[in-house]
Amino acid sequence: MSFWKKKDNLIITGFVVLFFAGLAVWVDLCCVNAAFFSPSIPSPYDVLFIDKDGNSETLSNFKGKPLIVNLWATWCPSCVKKMASFHRFTEKFEAAGGKVLNISQDSSGGPVRAYYARNGFHFPLYLDSKGLLLDAFKGTGVPTTIFISAAGQEVGRISGSFDWDSSEAASLVQKSFGLTLTNK
* pLDDT at res. 67: 98
Q: 59 with 154: CB under 8 angstroms?
A: no
pLDDT at position 35: 54
In this model, does residue 51 exceed pLDDT 70?
yes
Specify whether the CB–CB gap between 107 and 30 falls below 8 A.
Answer: no
Question: What is the predicted pLDDT for the residue at 182?
Answer: 87
pLDDT tens for residues 120-138? Answer: 999 999 999 999 999 999 9
Cα–Cα separations (whole angstroms), residue 65 to 10, 21, 43, 98, 180: 73, 58, 19, 6, 14
CATH number of 44-177: 3.40.30.10
CA distances (Å), 86 to each of 40, 72, 80, in order? 32, 11, 10
Entry pTM: 0.78
Boundaries of every domain in the chain? 1-38, 44-177
pLDDT number for residue 10 = 73
